[in-house]
Structure 1
Amino acid sequence: MTGIITTPSVALAQVDAGAIERELARLWHAATEAEQTGGEALMRACLFNFVILTDTTRISHVTEVTARLTALRPNRAIVAALSTGADPADSAQRMEAWVQAHCALVTPGHPQVCGEQITIIAPLDAGMHIPGIVLSLLEPDVPVVIWWAFNRIPGGTVLAHLQSVADRLILDTAHMDGAETALRSAQSLIAAGVAIGDLAWGRLTVWREQIAQLFDAPSALHQLWSLERIEIEHGSRGATAALLLAGWLATRLNWRMTKRRDTGVVLTRSDGGEVLLEFARVETTAVDSLASVTLLTAHSRLTVTRSASGDHLKACAIIDGLAPVERAVHLPPLDTAALIVDELRLARRDPIYEAALRQALDLAEYLVTPSPE
């Protein structure tokens, strides 16, 4: 892929589904005429509807993500941006809309693959009109993916009216205030029948892979069933990731929580033995805010640690009587578009994430210190 081209946005004088469709038709007609007169060959494609709910301050960011996503999975993107209401003049705003195309040369010698983006801006008091316009603009016979691109807990009438048509709803619980509150909001949506994709979970993929690979060797696998202590170090924004990672470990190993200690939570293994799970706050600038995971038994120490440079993970297995085993794996850029593509590999629900989420919420409750009577 040599690059992504985004056409200039074309503003609409009238904001309704019919006017938007007419402007899109003109956009593609102009592109076809340019192609016939010697311009770049292009192919319009739409694998899914991509509805982005956000605020007006993040339009540039979501447009950049949408352009990169088009190169990976072409779509019809509908950006519904609500004004923040911070400026009193916002209430006097009219609805605005514009259309543009994103094109990428995916394979040299072939036409550019293009998707389209429709952006609608509405003041807070006009948000009620957004669902009807969005529903009218959806391409038929392809999935509907909604991206909640706010840094706040999902909710409100716009999402309530649209979530019933969504095949997937993508969130980022790590960027919401309050780890337990964010995770509980995701759990509530799942309980309502929504298939959730969580970018915080996607960032944990490489960590989960490296932890699992620590136990590939038979000598290490034997240690897995006798784990006695787990330590997870994370930064100030990493509580969500740490809880999800701990929830994943507990569900995969069939552990159950039994009691709380001052330093963490005690879980019971299937053989009746106990595992102490502890979290520690450290300084880190990593996007996922995770620093290290340490798994201890009486005879081994297995670790996955982020390097000082932050661009790779180091895994180390030290087992009594055996030579240490070490390896390093490069950390891919945590690009939002790539994370969304990974989420789209699942057509509907992610049972492993949902199980880890339930366990993470149970852990969060155990970690809360009871209020004094």
Structure 2
Amino acid sequence: MIVDLPDTTTSKITKMIVKLREQGGVVALGRVLTLVVITELGNEEDAIAAANLASREHPCRIIVLAAGSAADATRLDAEIRVGGDAGASEVIVLHGHGELAAENESLVSGLLLPDAPIVAWWPNQAPAKTSESPVGRIAHRRITDSANAADPRAALSNIAQTYAAGDTDLAWTRLTNWRIQLAAALDGFDASDPITRIHVEGAIDSPSTLLLAAWLHMALEVPITVKDDTRGTGIRTVVLERLKGTVELTRPATTDAVLTQPGQPVQHIALPRRSLQDCLAEELRRLDPDEVFGEVVTDGLTKLLSEEEVMQA
């Protein structure tokens, strides 16, 4: 069910939520957090769809700030979605115009669940420093997606420079399965035959490629080469060189990968590209700072980008 509230206020929205609760019983109960989505008018539906699916694992209240035009007369239009239109959550969509078009903490504060953690998510363009933005200041976790920025690598570099505990980026979350497979391969290594060099290859527009390279470079402390590939998207190949042979994990398409190791049969591994809702659901599982991401993006990435010979076209 979708309830439209044109030219409204947060007080009227709250009263309508209470009314819907009385009509629907437990429809507004049992939420474990508030997810605030900050986007622009016209870009909100994909984010809402992903949040709805993620909410089946993490029931929450979803507040969507979909900014309209700052040139319009100041007003607030809203929608409340419950039931089949809201997954396991309740969705409040706020269309701010005029003075309310900018990211606005006052619009959010009256709609937050009491005594529940707050997660802020910018699915498209993020502010220069999320931890100091109006909503970011009150959030326990702040999620960005540098892959959707106009310049993904510049966005990732900005995250490295402005990182604060609680920040994370979905380019990192997309690496979870790659990291699991590589960590499993590393666990079986013979200490007498250490890794001597790393090669990482991925799409030129993929910030995940740089984050994976930074993680490996920081963990293994050996020379690394990162190569851009104009074909497709995402990571394609990781090669770990050893004296007795190389270990190579390659994903030629978007679903299956091939793992080659010395003295072992070739393994075919399911390594599909992760969906937006899977990545979001993973981030909602933890409300404490992701310390590994913090180290990778501040120390590992900074070191990687400072070594000019690492990058190859």
TM-score normalised to structure 1 length: 0.75
**Structure 2 residue identity aligned to 1:296:** E
Q: Is 1:367 the equivalent of 2:304?
A: no
- Give the counterpart of 2:18 among 13, 25, 32: 25
* Map of 2:212 onto structure 1: 245
* Map of 1:59 onto structure 2: 44
* Map of 1:116 onto structure 2: 90
Per-residue deviation at 1:140? 1.1
Per-residue deviation at 1:231? 1.4
Q: What is the rounded CA distance, in whole Å, between the counterparts of 2:150 and 2:100 in structure 1?
A: 26
Per-residue deviation at 1:82? 1.1
Q: Is 1:232 the equivalent of 2:200?
A: yes
* Map of 1:97 onto structure 2: 78
Per-residue deviation at 1:114? 3.7
Provide closer, same or farther for how the CA distance between residues 362 and 156 of structure 1 changes in structure 2, counting only shifts above 3 A: closer
Q: What is the rounded CA distance, in whole Å, between the counterparts of 1:188 and 1:161 in structure 2?
A: 19
Contact 1:50–1:144 under 8 Å retained in 2: yes
Provide closer, same or farther for how the CA distance between residues 56 and 156 of structure 1 changes in structure 2, counting only shifts above 3 A: farther
Question: Which structure's CA Rg is the greater one?
Answer: 1
**Structure 2 residue identity aligned to 1:306:** R
Per-residue deviation at 1:170? 0.6
Provide closer, same or farther for how the CA distance between residues 158 and 124 of structure 1 changes in structure 2, counting only shifts above 3 A: farther
**Structure 2 residue identity aligned to 1:335:** S
* Map of 2:173 onto structure 1: 202
Q: What is the rounded CA distance, in whole Å, between the counterparts of 1:203 and 1:80 in structure 2?
A: 25
Provide closer, same or farther for how the CA distance between residues 285 and 27 of structure 1 changes in structure 2, counting only shifts above 3 A: farther
Q: Percent identity?
A: 22
Contact 1:232–1:278 under 8 Å retained in 2: yes
- Give the counterpart of 1:182 among 155, 160, 165: 155
Contact 2:198–2:224 under 8 Å retained in 1: yes
Provide closer, same or farther for how the CA distance between residues 158 and 339 of structure 1 changes in structure 2, counting only shifts above 3 A: closer
- Give the counterpart of 1:304 among 230, 244, 249: 249
- Give the counterpart of 1:353 among 289, 293, 312: 293
Q: What is the rounded CA distance, in whole Å, between the counterparts of 1:28 and 1:244 in structure 2?
A: 44
Q: What is the rounded CA distance, in whole Å, between the counterparts of 1:214 and 1:128 in structure 2?
A: 47
Q: What is the rounded CA distance, in whole Å, between the counterparts of 2:252 and 2:154 in structure 1?
A: 30
Contact 1:304–1:314 under 8 Å retained in 2: yes
Contact 1:71–1:103 under 8 Å retained in 2: no
Per-residue deviation at 1:84? 5.9
**Structure 2 residue identity aligned to 1:241:** S
Contact 2:80–2:91 under 8 Å retained in 1: yes
**Structure 2 residue identity aligned to 1:349:** P
Contact 1:70–1:102 under 8 Å retained in 2: no
Provide closer, same or farther for how the CA distance between residues 212 and 332 of structure 1 changes in structure 2, counting only shifts above 3 A: same
In structure 1, runs of 5+ residues without a counterpart are: 1-6, 33-40, 105-111, 256-274
Contact 2:130–2:136 under 8 Å retained in 1: no
Per-residue deviation at 1:205? 1.0
* Map of 1:107 onto structure 2: none
* Map of 1:314 onto structure 2: 258
Alignment of 1:308-347 (within 5 A): 308=253, 310-318=254-262, 323-332=263-272, 334-347=274-287
Provide closer, same or farther for how the CA distance between residues 189 and 29 of structure 1 changes in structure 2, counting only shifts above 3 A: farther
For 2:260, what is the secondary structure of its paired residue? strand
Q: What is the rounded CA distance, in whole Å, between the counterparts of 1:133 and 1:364 in structure 2?
A: 39
Per-residue deviation at 1:303? 0.6
For 1:161, what is the secondary structure of its paired residue? coil
**Structure 2 residue identity aligned to 1:248:** W
Q: Is 1:149 the equivalent of 2:89?
A: no
* Map of 1:269 onto structure 2: none
For 1:137, what is the secondary structure of its paired residue? coil
Contact 1:103–1:115 under 8 Å retained in 2: no
- Give the counterpart of 1:278 among 215, 219, 225: 225
Contact 2:103–2:134 under 8 Å retained in 1: no
Provide closer, same or farther for how the CA distance between residues 328 and 94 of structure 1 changes in structure 2, counting only shifts above 3 A: same
Provide closer, same or farther for how the CA distance between residues 339 and 113 of structure 1 changes in structure 2, counting only shifts above 3 A: closer
Per-residue deviation at 1:332? 4.5
Q: Is 1:48 the equivalent of 2:33?
A: yes
* Map of 1:270 onto structure 2: none
* Map of 1:16 onto structure 2: 9
Provide closer, same or farther for how the CA distance between residues 295 and 128 of structure 1 changes in structure 2, counting only shifts above 3 A: closer
Contact 1:17–1:133 under 8 Å retained in 2: yes
* Map of 2:62 onto structure 1: 77
**Structure 2 residue identity aligned to 1:281:** D
Q: What is the rounded CA distance, in whole Å, between the counterparts of 2:219 and 2:130 in structure 1?
A: 37
Contact 2:39–2:66 under 8 Å retained in 1: yes
Provide closer, same or farther for how the CA distance between residues 157 and 251 of structure 1 changes in structure 2, counting only shifts above 3 A: closer
Provide closer, same or farther for how the CA distance between residues 350 and 78 of structure 1 changes in structure 2, counting only shifts above 3 A: same
Contact 1:127–1:158 under 8 Å retained in 2: no
